[in-house]
Structure 1
Amino acid sequence: MSLIKHLKDTEPFNHLPDHVYQEIRTGARLQKFPQGTFIFQQNDPPTGYLYVIKEGLVEITVMTPGGIDMVVDYRKEGSFFGGTPIFTGDPYTGGARTVKATECYLIPESILMKAEEESPELRDYFTRIVLSRVRQLYSEIVADHNRHAVTQMEAYPFKKRLSEIMESPVETCPPDEPVRRVARRLTDKKIGAMPVVGTDGTLLGIITERDLVSKVLATDGTDPSTMQALDVMSRNPQTMPPGTYMYEAMAYMTSHHLKHLPVVDRGELVGIVSLRDLMKYRSQKAMLLIGNIREEQTLEGLKAIHQEIVTVARTLLSETRSTPEVMEILSYIHHGIIKRVYELCLEEMKAEGKEPPAIRYCFLIMGSGGRREMLLAPDQDNGFIYENVPDERLPEVEAFFIPFADKIVQALSRVGYPLCKGKVMADNPSWRGRLKDWQARIKDWVNDPEPQKVRYSSIFFDFAPLAGDVQLAHDLRDIVHREIREFQAFLYHMMSLDLRYKVPVGFLGRFVVDKDGEHRGELSLKQGGSIYIVDCIRMFALERGLQAITTQARLKELVSLNVFAMETAEHIRAAFEALTFLRLRNEIALTDQGKRPSHFLDPYALTKTEQDLLKESFHAVSKLQDATKRHFARTPF
């Protein structure tokens, strides 16, 4: 990587005068850091350098109030870190630790301070206050919740990534190493597997004790003295990147019956983990919810797992961590349960003598499930898509999928996923069909955007494949983007419908609550706030044809496209996290009281600080609504 070329293409260095680039070229020095080294730690005084990664991988860590060292970000080749303390003089707010051997350019503070005299935006970039009032209040409340949490369970698998527990450096061998030597090294090193790598460091395969037994000792006619690693290795082994959470690796290795998993970063082997390593940190409750879902054979068993999700949620919320991350973990569990329900229903259909037709098809999950933003009690939003079979084959196709869809919907209801009140489910003919049937539906929604169709599209546009042929879902996504490009006015109609409603805060700053009915004296955190963030960000994402599905990922891409300024995005992100935190905490409390989880709460039952947080969050939502309205308005309001 050329340092100067990279800086010229990177904010905030892309507007520096040429002579400053020359001073950086002359004054910067290279330094190598071994794997697992802290370049600096949280609360250390400034080192006096800005670090730009030439080669390697660095994880940014923070220490939670509970004393947990948590990885919050990764910096790869070309990324920089450690700049803010140069201009503020404050200690580092997080640590920087190498995941693998890393080489950095170190740009001295003196050069940056001199550059700042000619380019004040340099200081502004590093010192501007990104943390909004929402973020400050949210951080206080989360920390207070953490201090008062009394129920804990082993949640280590939900906190740590593979980079933090993997074995590294890895004991490897070349493809031409004699098998007997490989076996001797496995015994001497007391390890159960050895990756096979090429001369360029590329992972070619892996040799396990099982490979040696099945391919050498138990095979007639083999001569171990003539065999090489290449002859016995399992080719193209499954791998995961170092940023993978332990719970994901546990679930994956358990369901695929893997005992060893190489950790690969951009094609390079950086570590290896064994199932035994992961099981050291096993949480029985967590593994019940994740690792055993794949093995569960009954709907009653899946229902029991579903009922335990609240325990995981309670634990995750008792830690200082981001609520989007909690949603992703909960969604991962929900997806596993729903997919297992699908599989059990398919097995039941086959047992009844009803084989699926010989076509490509895909089971879709939509709404919060598609966005991976599920909390405790999401309802059903699902559908089916098939390949474009001829009309004469439709009776055959529907003869299978009508009872299959009915079976899935009813099974999910039994497990704990309520029926969708709007009937957005696969047993509704409107939510299954061929690719061209879906295309016709989407075209109708987009070109005739009456209110109900816009509501349907809001749920549908967040679809994601859960089982079957994922390419059909990708093709469907392309159709969505194409139709919206051809009729951009649809986004105006979507905005007009969605933004008719305002956040539930009155002119004098009092909360607007329901006056009667089941939720008298309460307001909805979802319908009054978070749904507007989801919808507004989705509109901008659709306009730009983004593939990202989660609200946070969409927001990040919109910042990179300069649709939102970084400060604006942080304000939105903080409001989204705060509303989700309050909603999830409320759902847990209701569940503990034996009630059904709900997004409705009495705002005046909150503390003064929590009320302030809620008002500030609603204010941020209102500003986003205004910005969305201005952007998509095609005619005067």
Structure 2
Amino acid sequence: MGLIRHLRDSEPFNILPDHLFEELRKAAVLKKFPANTHIFKQNDYPTGYLYIIKDGLVEITVMNPGGVEMVVDYRKEGQFFGATPIFTGEPYTGGARTVRATECFVINADLVKKVEEEYPRIGEYFTRIVLSRVRNLYSEIVTDQTQDAITQMEAYPFKKRLSEIMATPPVCCTPQNTAREVARKISEKRVSSVLVCEKDGSLMGIITERDLVGKVLSLPNVDPDAITAATIMTPQPHSLSPDTYMYEAMAYMSAHRMRHLPILDGKQVVGIVTLRDLMRFRSQKAMLLVGNARQAKDLATLAAIRSEIATVGRTLLSETRSTPEVMEILSYIHHTIIRRTFDLCLEEMKQQGKEPPAIRYCFLIMGSGGRREMLLDPDQDNGFIFENYPDARQEEVDAFFVPFSEKIVDALAEVGYPLCHGKVMVNNPLWRGRLWEWDERIEDWVNEPEPQKVRYSSIFFDFVPMAGDGTLAQDLRDIVHRHIRSFQGFLYHMMSLDLRYKVPIGLLGRFVLEKSGEHKGELSLKHGGTVYIVDCIRMFALEQELSEVTTFARLEALVKRNVFAPETAEHIRAAFEALTFLRLRNEIALVQAGRKPSHHINPHNLSKTEQDLLRESFQAVGKLQDATKRHFAKTPF
């Protein structure tokens, strides 16, 4: 793939005319970098070049305050790196290290600046993300968090990626190699498996020591000099990509009972990871929370795992990782626990001789769980969708799913997920139903948007399938989009109800605190801030019929559709991150003090910088509220 094609497909260079493309092509030099090589490191003086990847894989790294190098992003074929210092003149904010042998087009910084003089948008693209005051304040506060070596090691397995621990290059053989030749490779290279690959590097299969023993050595009349790798290999083995997190790989290998995991970048084999490799980096707590949750045999074990989530949140947060990543990991753990709870309840029903009827069904979770934005103490928000079975089967369906639903709700409560105060749970008949029943229910919510119905919809619209037939969830999402399309005035009513209240900040930037009750002298980071961001972004997502569910994914999709400018979206994202960071830190502190997690804080207990951050974040939320009101007040109905 040539340089010109790379640039034509890449923002912001895709705006350039042909003569500048040609000038860049003539000036570019092709450089090769071996695998596992630092092209530059964080805080290095700029090399004076822009790097565009022709072939290979590069990871972008940063050093956390404890001195541990962490991978934060990847650059693949056609992508570039090293640009920011060209326009800022400052040292590199992160390092660039090759995962495998990589070729890059290298363009001199002076030429890039010359192009930028003619097309200023080039420079604006690289500098605009540093303009947000909220982002700067948030980064400053997060960096100030302290941690010790033990804390970092506890969090490390969650954040390390497979590219950082995989054996590369992996030991490979051809399909024509004999069993004896494979055994010789295993012995000489001191490995426990060999990958069987085509000449182009694509993966065909895997041969382990166990395969050699079970399929060759232990069988009579098998000639190790005659039987080939193609005959004894396990074909089409499971694989993951190099940017997969270790915590994901742990669960994946455990679920598939694997000991050897090939790592593929596209179709190309780039490495291999063994269960032993993972165990070397895997802390006891990581093993408990991620590995054992899927294998738990009872609710007591799941409850024990659930009780450790606050500790994981503390270690991840102290590692100064981004708040979205922390939410993603905590949600991943919650989802694993909830899914295993569901499975245990289903197994118990079957042990009691109660088999599910032969219909398609889907177990949903909603709200923060659906958005993968769960923190320490989420409550239950769940439901069931059924296929459109005939009325004559209703008694049969209820005979199983009514007690099953009660069992699920009780089990989740026992594990540590409180009951939903609004009874948005599967044991409530309103949250079970056939597709046509959900269709009628949603039509009623949309066309008769009373306050309670709007509140229901705010929780429900953030749903994801957790178990069963996920295609039913997609059918349900299509129903939601169809009804909102037919009556967009619903979004106006949703806006009117959700945005009746303002953020808790008054004139001259003073915080507006609760005047009475349990939280007198405090304000809510959730009900005063994050919930408005979630609600506003959801309204725009529903209007655009987006399939994305997380707030950040919706925001990114809205930028692509030109609903929000990139700078506006970055400001909203930073505010959401900052408010969530302050909330999560507060919840962790309360749990450590033996108290129940809460999203209420006394802002005057924060440092001055943190109070500034809170004010800026609330002001960003207020602007989003105003923009949402202006937009949906014009909705025709």
TM-score range, shorter chain: over 0.9
Deviations 1:33-74 (A, max 9, x none): 222122211111222221122222211111111111111111
Partner residue in 2 for 1:256? 256
Deviations 1:553-607 (A, max 9, x none): 2222222333222221221111111111111111111111211111111112222
Does structure 2 retain, via aligned residues, the 8 Å contact 1:130–1:567? no
| Cα separation, partners in 2 of 1:150 and 1:105, compared to 1, 3 Å | closer
Matches within 5 A, 1:515-530: 515-530=515-530
Does structure 1 retain, via aligned residues, the 8 Å contact 2:586–2:598? yes
Provide the aligned C-alpha RMSD in A. 2.0
How far does residue 463 in structure 1 lie from its aligned partner after superposition? 0.9
Normalised TM-score (structure 2): 0.96
Partner residue in 1 for 2:587? 587
Partner residue in 2 for 1:15? 15
Matches within 5 A, 1:529-608: 529-608=529-608
**Residues in 2 aligned to 1:125 and 1:335: alpha-carbon distance in whole angstroms:** 37
Partner residue in 2 for 1:269? 269
Does structure 1 retain, via aligned residues, the 8 Å contact 2:66–2:149? no
Partner residue in 1 for 2:335? 335
**Structure 2 residues without counterparts, runs of 5 or longer:** none
Letter paired with 1:263? I
1:30 and 2:30 correspond: yes
| Cα separation, partners in 2 of 1:148 and 1:37, compared to 1, 3 Å | closer
SS state at 1:60 partner: strand
| Cα separation, partners in 2 of 1:436 and 1:179, compared to 1, 3 Å | farther
| Cα separation, partners in 2 of 1:490 and 1:149, compared to 1, 3 Å | farther
| Cα separation, partners in 2 of 1:19 and 1:6, compared to 1, 3 Å | same
Partner residue in 1 for 2:622? 622
Partner residue in 1 for 2:230? 230
**Residues in 1 aligned to 2:167 and 2:346: alpha-carbon distance in whole angstroms:** 40
Deviations 1:422-467 (A, max 9, x none): 1111111111122222222222222322222221111111111111
Matches within 5 A, 1:297-336: 297-336=297-336
Partner residue in 2 for 1:122? 122
SS state at 1:292 partner: helix
Letter paired with 1:253? M
Size of the alignment, in residue pairs?
637
Moved more, 595-604 or 434-443: 434-443
How far does residue 150 in structure 1 lie from its aligned partner after superposition? 9.0
SS state at 2:556 partner: helix
Identity %: 69
1:164 and 2:164 correspond: yes
SS state at 2:508 partner: coil
How far does residue 531 in structure 1 lie from its aligned partner after superposition? 1.0
1:475 and 2:475 correspond: yes
**Residues in 1 aligned to 2:342 and 2:360: alpha-carbon distance in whole angstroms:** 16
| Cα separation, partners in 2 of 1:194 and 1:428, compared to 1, 3 Å | same
Moved more, 241-250 or 29-38: 29-38
**Residues in 1 aligned to 2:128 and 2:337: alpha-carbon distance in whole angstroms:** 44
**Residues in 2 aligned to 1:441 and 1:508: alpha-carbon distance in whole angstroms:** 45
How far does residue 128 in structure 1 lie from its aligned partner after superposition? 3.3
SS state at 2:225 partner: helix
| Cα separation, partners in 2 of 1:427 and 1:132, compared to 1, 3 Å | same
Letter paired with 1:397? V
**Residues in 1 aligned to 2:565 and 2:591: alpha-carbon distance in whole angstroms:** 39
Deviations 1:358-402 (A, max 9, x none): 122221111111111111110001111122211211211121011
SS state at 2:92 partner: coil
How far does residue 481 in structure 1 lie from its aligned partner after superposition? 2.7
Letter paired with 2:360? R
Moved more, 11-20 or 622-631: 11-20
| Cα separation, partners in 2 of 1:561 and 1:7, compared to 1, 3 Å | farther
Partner residue in 1 for 2:400? 400
Moved more, 67-76 or 472-481: 472-481
Partner residue in 2 for 1:445? 445
**Residues in 2 aligned to 1:403 and 1:57: alpha-carbon distance in whole angstroms:** 52
Normalised TM-score (structure 1): 0.96
Deviations 1:72-97 (A, max 9, x none): 11122221211121122211111111
How far does residue 151 in structure 1 lie from its aligned partner after superposition? 5.7
Deviations 1:120-144 (A, max 9, x none): 2222222335342212221222122
**Structure 1 residues without counterparts, runs of 5 or longer:** none
**Residues in 1 aligned to 2:484 and 2:31: alpha-carbon distance in whole angstroms:** 50
Partner residue in 1 for 2:379? 379
**Residues in 1 aligned to 2:77 and 2:567: alpha-carbon distance in whole angstroms:** 25
1:347 and 2:372 correspond: no
Letter paired with 1:553? A
Q: Which 4+ runs in 1 deviate beyond 3 A? A: 147-153, 217-225
Partner residue in 2 for 1:215? 215
SS state at 1:110 partner: helix
**Residues in 1 aligned to 2:196 and 2:365: alpha-carbon distance in whole angstroms:** 39
**Residues in 2 aligned to 1:519 and 1:572: alpha-carbon distance in whole angstroms:** 27
Does structure 2 retain, via aligned residues, the 8 Å contact 1:46–1:91? yes
Partner residue in 2 for 1:97? 97
SS state at 1:66 partner: coil
Letter paired with 2:50? L
